[in-house]
Copies of this chain bind each other. A is one copy, B any other.
Amino acid sequence: MACQYDMAELCFHAAKPMGSQAAVDLNAVFRKGDRAWRVKGFYAGQGEYRVRFLPEETGVYQYEISGIVSDRGKITAEPARAGRHGPVRAKGIHLYHADGTPWVGLGTTIYAMLHQEEALIDETMDTLRHSPFTKVRLCLFPKHYHYNHNDPAHFAFLRNAQGEWDMDHPDFAFWDAFEKRLAEMDGMGIQADLILFHPYDRWRHSALTQKQNLAYLDYLIRRFAAYPNVWWSLANEYDLCPAKTMEDWYGIEEFVAKNDPFRHLLGNHNCFQPYDPSRENITHMSWQTKQISRIPEMQKRYGKPVLIDECCYEGNLPETWGSISGREMTARFWRTAVLGGYCTHGETFYPDEKEIVWWAKGGKLAGESPARIAFLRSVLESLPGPLRPRLTRLQRAAGMTDEQIKKLLSEPVTQQNIFTIAIARMGTGEISRFAAQESCFCGVCGPDDAPDAVIKYMDFNCCCKTDLELPDNGSYRVEVLDTWNMTRETVLTGVRGKQEIPLPGREWMAVLGVQETP
């Protein structure tokens, strides 16, 4: 039996491939009504061939298989099991499961989690199960870096007699183990943001030929593309990979997009210069940055979801990227979430000689932010829909074009327009830098003229009160949230219009107005 949103698998036995064990001749077409999905099967070792499919609709799919194996038949996808919402897709600046449920996106980072010993991976999975995270960024290739000196038990491919990677020979033990964990994550509602390449390498995975790159991706996609929770992250820090040109990246991007029958999310993560999110195959901006206040600018520029896929890590490493406090990590999540972006966590406490650091290997979480991220998750899940930014006056000004500025500056200066004119005089570049320092973040969900919810995150400001601008119609409940102490308290009910809300004069507060259901 197959189910909507679950991977369906057809299994065949035949003779071992004569040539490549990766690029086997096994092609399938699945048809439903006038639609068709072309899927390649893969060799799984021990004479076993598999064809995987992800039904996104209920009903009957006819299939036809050719190549090493010939077969035809049908699978019937029953309605999704309880709690199954399907793969995550981009729509505008937001991400939704296939069934329309907004994806509450709270990521974490465990780059080399599946290159560790079984017992440690078990511990990591257990930690994830009890964590708020709905996405993990993790690598296919192992990692060589500070605190990352161990070899994995298995690599994705075997070496040939010359000691070079042989893309015709997947190491099935690696792939079996990897996909077992993918399925576990899927069961836990966790998206696997699979990092296909990265520069932190001593095994020459980062310096394969482009032919080898594509051979690897071909096997990867045949094998993993039908997992509903898989995303493709072309790289971690694509721009720090000296062996790859931009043409190589475009080739990789094209290959993945073209070969994935299920159109999984496709991003590419930067160190410095973002990989161009306007490219057609790129579904979202996967941005390493501390410039969280620029999320609205990027949402507007690209019309795609903005994921802050690295914003430093909670910990105490000597490096600034690995030593922010739990408070700062929590704040970065709130800033991002209120603006309708999606933030990704990581944890980097200086390890003992076993060198187990969450951000690379997993294990247990020790930081202060995960509990607060769980609180944020509960708040986001209580909202009627995904948030988008409501810009402050300055943030709006930061979006002025050169033409708008020119027009403004031609107007006579008055008491009324002096503020805007003074901003305009800075010019676009300086306005944007100025606005980047704003420390109040506001988001709304629902229609512009009658939002279902308005949320204002006060960040490090210690205000004794604040204004919350609710619509002049409807009836709202107002809550004061302490994002650090994880409390929410209803302070007003049945109100509309601009409200003055008393606050305790501490950092990390938020104010939420939600439309009351009659």
Tell me which residues across on chain B come within 8 A of A432, comparing CB atoms.
Answer: 433
Tell me which residues across on chain B come within 8 A of A430, comparing CB atoms.
Answer: 272-273
Tell me which residues across on chain B come within 8 A of A239, comparing CB atoms.
Answer: 422, 425
A18-33 CB contacts (< 8 Å) to partner B: none
Q: Is the CB of A325 within 8 A of B273?
A: no
* A460 at the binding interface (Cβ < 8 Å): yes
Q: Is the CB of A434 within 8 A of B320?
A: no
A328 to B325, CA, bound (A): 14
* A252 at the binding interface (Cβ < 8 Å): no
Q: Is the CB of A467 within 8 A of B318?
A: yes
Closest Cβ neighbor of A412 among chain B residues: B242
* A290 at the binding interface (Cβ < 8 Å): yes
Q: Is the CB of B413 within 8 A of A242?
A: yes
| A291, A320, A429: most-surrounded residue (chain B CB, <10 A) | A320
Given contact pairs A240-B419, A242-B418, a sample of 12 additional A-B residue pairs in the complex whose CB atoms are under 8 Å apart: A240-B422, A242-B415, A273-B425, A273-B430, A289-B434, A316-B505, A317-B463, A318-B467, A320-B439, A320-B463, A324-B460, A324-B462
Closest Cβ neighbor of A425 among chain B residues: B273
Copies assembled: 2
A405-452 CB contacts (< 8 Å) to partner B: 413-415, 418-419, 422-423, 425-426, 429-430, 432-434, 436-440
In the assembled complex, the CB of A60 is this many whole angstroms from the nearest CB of chain B, namely 51
A293-345 CB contacts (< 8 Å) to partner B: 315-320, 323-325, 328
* A464 at the binding interface (Cβ < 8 Å): yes
Q: Is the CB of A464 within 8 A of B413?
A: no
Tell me which residues across on chain B come within 8 A of A437, comparing CB atoms.
Answer: 289-291
A434 to B294, CA, bound (A): 12
Q: Is the CB of B291 within 8 A of A240?
A: no
* A465 at the binding interface (Cβ < 8 Å): yes
* A178 at the binding interface (Cβ < 8 Å): no
Q: Is the CB of A426 within 8 A of B273?
A: yes
Q: Which residues of A contact B (CB under 8 A)?
A: 199, 239-242, 271-273, 289-291, 315-320, 323-325, 328, 350, 413-415, 418-419, 422-423, 425-426, 429-430, 432-434, 436-440, 460-467, 505, 507
Q: Is the CB of B320 within 8 A of A422?
A: no
A315 to B462, CA, bound (A): 7
A465 to B350, CA, bound (A): 10
Q: Is the CB of B422 within 8 A of A272?
A: yes
Q: Is the CB of A317 within 8 A of B464?
A: yes
Closest Cβ neighbor of A314 among chain B residues: B462
In the assembled complex, the CB of A16 is this many whole angstroms from the nearest CB of chain B, namely 39
Tell me which residues across on chain B come within 8 A of A414, comparing CB atoms.
Answer: 242
Tell me which residues across on chain B come within 8 A of A419, comparing CB atoms.
Answer: 240
Q: Is the CB of A318 within 8 A of B465?
A: yes
Tell me which residues across on chain B come within 8 A of A325, comparing CB atoms.
Answer: 460, 462, 507
In the assembled complex, the CB of A118 is this many whole angstroms from the nearest CB of chain B, namely 30
In the assembled complex, the CB of A164 is this many whole angstroms from the nearest CB of chain B, namely 19
Tell me which residues across on chain B come within 8 A of A241, comparing CB atoms.
Answer: 418
Contact of A463 among B273, B316, B423, B461 (CB under 8 A): B316
Closest Cβ neighbor of A270 among chain B residues: B422
In the assembled complex, the CB of A471 is this many whole angstroms from the nearest CB of chain B, namely 21
In the assembled complex, the CB of A306 is this many whole angstroms from the nearest CB of chain B, namely 16
A-B contact pairs, 5 of them (CB 8 A): A240-B419, A291-B433, A323-B462, A350-B465, A429-B429
A467 to B415, CA, bound (A): 52
Closest 9 CB pairs of A and B: A316-B505, A290-B437, A323-B461, A316-B464, A239-B422, A242-B418, A323-B463, A273-B425, A272-B422
Tell me which residues across on chain B come within 8 A of A434, comparing CB atoms.
Answer: 272, 289, 291
Contact of A436 among B272, B426, B433 (CB under 8 A): B433
Q: Is the CB of B461 within 8 A of A320?
A: yes
In the assembled complex, the CB of A327 is this many whole angstroms from the nearest CB of chain B, namely 9
Tell me which residues across on chain B come within 8 A of A413, comparing CB atoms.
Answer: 242
In the assembled complex, the CB of A238 is this many whole angstroms from the nearest CB of chain B, namely 9
Closest Cβ neighbor of A311 among chain B residues: B437
